[in-house]
Chains A and B, each alone.
Chain A
Amino acid sequence: MSDNSHDTAGLMTVIQRGWFTAGALAVLTLVEYVVATTVDAPTLWLLPFIVAKGGLILEVFMHSSDLKTLDGGNA
């Protein structure tokens, strides 16, 4: 995430990305629920939803990409 201070436009882009993600998560959750209540033995059907939701949270909300730059720099 960019650290531009006092940069309202930058803040808005970041937040917009957050809203898109949250929207996607909400849709996934609702569809997941519908699938679960209509399909018999839905376990396998639900796994893709779990992976997709978890992936979105890790990537966008938890900034998992900062794991790439963690080394102290001596590698």
Chain B
Amino acid sequence: MRQLLRAVIFGILGYLIGATLTWLVRGGSLGDEVCVVFGYVVGLVGWLFGIGMGDTWVREWFGLPARESDVTGWKRYLGFSTDHKVIGVQYLATFIVVLLLGGVAAMIIRFELAQAGEGILNADRYNQVMSMHGILMVAVAVAAILGSFGNYLVPIMIGADDMAFPRLNAVTFWLIPPVAIGLLAAPTLGSFDAGWTAYPPLSVVNNGGQILFVLAVTTFGLSSILGGLNVITTIVTMRAPGMTWGRLPIFVWAAFAASMISLLTTQFFAASLVLIAMDRVAGTVFFDGGAGGDPLLYQHLFWFYSHPAVYVMVLPGFGLVLETITHMSRKPLFAYKAVVVSLLTIAGLSVIVWAHHMFTSGMAEYLHGPFMFATEMISVPTGVIFLSAMATLWRGKLWMKTPLFFAMIWIFQFLMGGVTGIFLADVVTDVSLHDSYFVVAHFHYTIMGGMIFAFLTGIFFWFPKITGRMINDRLGIIFALWLTIGFQLTFLPQFWLGTNGMNRRIADYPDQLEGANLFSSISAFFLGGSFLLLIYILLSAARRGPKAGDNPWNASTLEWQVSSPPPEHNFSGQPTVVGHPYGYGTADSRHAEFAGMTAVGLAEPEQAGTGEGGDNE
């Protein structure tokens, strides 16, 4: 608490100092964008110093001993904790809140679109709300799974006591609040309205809120890069004895592949935004066609990150879903090795397909073919992952609890997203579909279907581990069905709308599209309502849910072999890994041995399935 307060004060002071000094040096007004830029940078430094870097790193830089925080209990969640489990929960809570905020913006958008003509929002306001919705949701999609489950699960799954760089990990998380503040403060400077993609020339000439967008999103990029760095280093250097690359749980592999992408390609997003900032405040002309610049440069830089970013969103989701499916169908993961190869192949291919977002941009014609081909190549490894999910379920002993429900719905959702992607990857069809509601429906199926549904799968599967309490399964299934039905009713009509002339990012539309839009809007409110149930489920389970015990799902991976929630350093003794993680159905298969603990057995589902919250140990 004290740290947080200090961080806020230092942050504000830093902003004032940076902005004022700049103003004194160059004149003009305090609200000028240059002042905002320097204010933000100094404020960010002040914030980080106040939250805990000052106590740890900065003191050590000057040869002083670090002051470690000695806060205990729930207060750890409000301060600079280096415990990966605390950080995982911090991410989880933060991004659920951001998801809900983005959801509110979505409701406003659908309210406006329920009828043709101008309603509650004029065209400018509409673009601002739409841009805010977009960037908040993209932030959720990029960081929610890697931040929360990546932090919480990866070290335990590989038998380590923490991440490789615990302090860096804390800094990585505490970079997020300034991002949220920066974005939400944008209306004070007139908001940003260039969408989450921030294409110039608009993003160079629009209101001052765009500069806050640039600063906040660059900070967010820094956080993703550092997070990726930490995850990779942890996986490479911190595995328990016997945890060979071939024995890594599949989520760890997925986090590894996604982290590779975010470590490297995020820099291109940062670069593209820095160039926007330079054009705005330093008078450069990178995107000014009249002065010899090239607006298409931005699109190339941007998509060189932002296409791979969709795999940062979805690969960890693949991991969570595959974990859940293998544990809850009591079968070894089908084609483990092929899945690993596919994850890495997707990560590799993801950097050579970016221009499929630019087929109608006017870029050189000869680029169309290669980018179309490369994009369609990615369907192959993606298909392998699908096959693995289906074949693992095939003739398994399905344990139809909420997490498996979500995982199976996920298969359908992502299938819809992937199949519609083919039409967008194909130049001939994309020329008509680009910038229409078909694209909107496509990426909602892939991102909301592929990432949010996987996130929910993960929440329902690991909630007992994180909190030590079970979720009400009946409510969970009601929520899953409610959400899924609402989702189809909202987004299926949007494919039709797209092919019938409804443009993307537009507040008004031809009158004859009103019926389908109204239907989609009403469904969207129905869909939005389901999240109230989710909040109720999570809060009531956290307070009153029955005790979960160590291993309510009788799962084999390491995180289930310790108490719920796990003890401070995860393991009391050093675990030794002796076998494959998913040896279900093989009598004497074992994954790990612990000092002072019996080998990890793999009970049959009958045994495990009886009674919620039964303590199996």
Q: Which residues of B contact A72 (CB under 8 A)?
A: 236-239
Could you tell me the distance in whole angstroms from the C-beta of A56 to the nearest C-beta in chain B? 24
A72–B245 alpha-carbon span in the complex (Å):
11
State whether the Cβ of A70 lies closer than 8 Å to any Cβ in chain B. yes
How many residues of A sit at the interface, in one of the four size bands? under 10
A interface majority secondary structure: loop
A70–B244 alpha-carbon span in the complex (Å):
15
Would you list which residues of chain B between 358 and 387 have a CB under 8 Å from chain A?
A: none
A75–B236 alpha-carbon span in the complex (Å):
9
Could you tell me the distance in whole angstroms from the C-beta of B260 to the nearest C-beta in chain A? 15
A13–B240 alpha-carbon span in the complex (Å):
39
Q: Which residues of B contact A38 (CB under 8 A)?
A: none
Give A14-55 as 1s and 0s: 1 = Cβ < 8 Å from B's Cβ atoms. Answer: 000000000000000000000000000000000000000000
Q: Which residues of A contact B136 (CB under 8 A)?
A: none
State whether the Cβ of A3 lies closer than 8 Å to any Cβ in chain B. no
Would you list which residues of chain B between 234 and 275 have a CB under 8 Å from chain A?
A: 236-245
Would you list which residues of chain A between 50 and 75 have a CB under 8 Å from chain B?
A: 70-72, 74-75
A71–B244 alpha-carbon span in the complex (Å):
11
Q: Interface residue count for B (Cβ, 8 Å)?
A: 10
A72–B235 alpha-carbon span in the complex (Å):
9
Could you tell me the distance in whole angstroms from the C-beta of A32 to the nearest C-beta in chain B? 26
Q: Which residues of A contact B239 (CB under 8 A)?
A: 72, 74
Interchain CB contact (< 8 A) of A70 among B236, B240, B241, B243:
B236
Whether the Cβ atoms of A75 and B237 lie closer than 8 Å is no
Q: Which residues of B contact A71 (CB under 8 A)?
A: 236-237
B interface majority secondary structure: loop
Could you tell me the distance in whole angstroms from the C-beta of A69 to the nearest C-beta in chain B? 11
Whether the Cβ atoms of A75 and B238 lie closer than 8 Å is no
Could you tell me the distance in whole angstroms from the C-beta of A72 to the nearest C-beta in chain B? 4
Q: Which residues of A contact B237 (CB under 8 A)?
A: 70-72
Q: Which residues of B contact A70 (CB under 8 A)?
A: 236-237
Q: Which residues of A contact B238 (CB under 8 A)?
A: 72
Could you tell me the distance in whole angstroms from the C-beta of A75 to the nearest C-beta in chain B? 6
Q: Which residues of B contact A74 (CB under 8 A)?
A: 239-245
Could you tell me the distance in whole angstroms from the C-beta of B235 to the nearest C-beta in chain A? 9
Would you list which residues of chain B between 407 and 436 have a CB under 8 Å from chain A?
A: none
Nearest-neighbor residue (CB-CB) of B234 within chain A: A72
Nearest-neighbor residue (CB-CB) of A74 within chain B: B239
Q: Which residues of A contact B245 (CB under 8 A)?
A: 74-75
A61–B517 alpha-carbon span in the complex (Å):
63
> Most chain-B CB neighbours within 10 Å: which of A70, A71, A72?
A72
Q: Which residues of A contact B240 (CB under 8 A)?
A: 74
> Most chain-A CB neighbours within 10 Å: which of B239, B240, B244?
B239
A13–B237 alpha-carbon span in the complex (Å):
32
Could you tell me the distance in whole angstroms from the C-beta of B327 to the nearest C-beta in chain A? 24
A74–B241 alpha-carbon span in the complex (Å):
7
Q: Which residues of A contact B243 (CB under 8 A)?
A: 74
A71–B242 alpha-carbon span in the complex (Å):
13
Nearest-neighbor residue (CB-CB) of B242 within chain A: A74
A74–B243 alpha-carbon span in the complex (Å):
6
Nearest-neighbor residue (CB-CB) of A72 within chain B: B237
Could you tell me the distance in whole angstroms from the C-beta of A1 to the nearest C-beta in chain B? 21
Could you tell me the distance in whole angstroms from the C-beta of A66 to the nearest C-beta in chain B? 13
Could you tell me the distance in whole angstroms from the C-beta of B578 to the nearest C-beta in chain A? 13
A74–B240 alpha-carbon span in the complex (Å):
8
A4–B293 alpha-carbon span in the complex (Å):
55
Q: Which residues of A contact B236 (CB under 8 A)?
A: 70-72
A75–B241 alpha-carbon span in the complex (Å):
10
A74–B252 alpha-carbon span in the complex (Å):
15
Could you tell me the distance in whole angstroms from the C-beta of A26 to the nearest C-beta in chain B? 31
A74–B239 alpha-carbon span in the complex (Å):
7
A74–B242 alpha-carbon span in the complex (Å):
6
Q: Which residues of B contact A75 (CB under 8 A)?
A: 244-245
Nearest-neighbor residue (CB-CB) of A71 within chain B: B236
Could you tell me the distance in whole angstroms from the C-beta of A67 to the nearest C-beta in chain B? 11
A59–B238 alpha-carbon span in the complex (Å):
26
> Most chain-B CB neighbours within 10 Å: which of A70, A71, A74?
A74
Nearest-neighbor residue (CB-CB) of B240 within chain A: A74
A27–B239 alpha-carbon span in the complex (Å):
45
A-B CB contact pairs (8 Å), 17 listed? A70-B236, A70-B237, A71-B236, A71-B237, A72-B236, A72-B237, A72-B238, A72-B239, A74-B239, A74-B240, A74-B241, A74-B242, A74-B243, A74-B244, A74-B245, A75-B244, A75-B245
Show the binding face of A for B, using Cβ within 8 Å: 70-72, 74-75
Instruction: Add 9 more A-B contacts to A72-B236, A74-B245, A75-B245 (CB < 8 A).
Output: A70-B236, A71-B236, A72-B237, A72-B238, A72-B239, A74-B241, A74-B242, A74-B243, A75-B244
Top 4 nearest A-B pairs by Cβ distance?
A72-B237, A74-B239, A72-B239, A74-B244
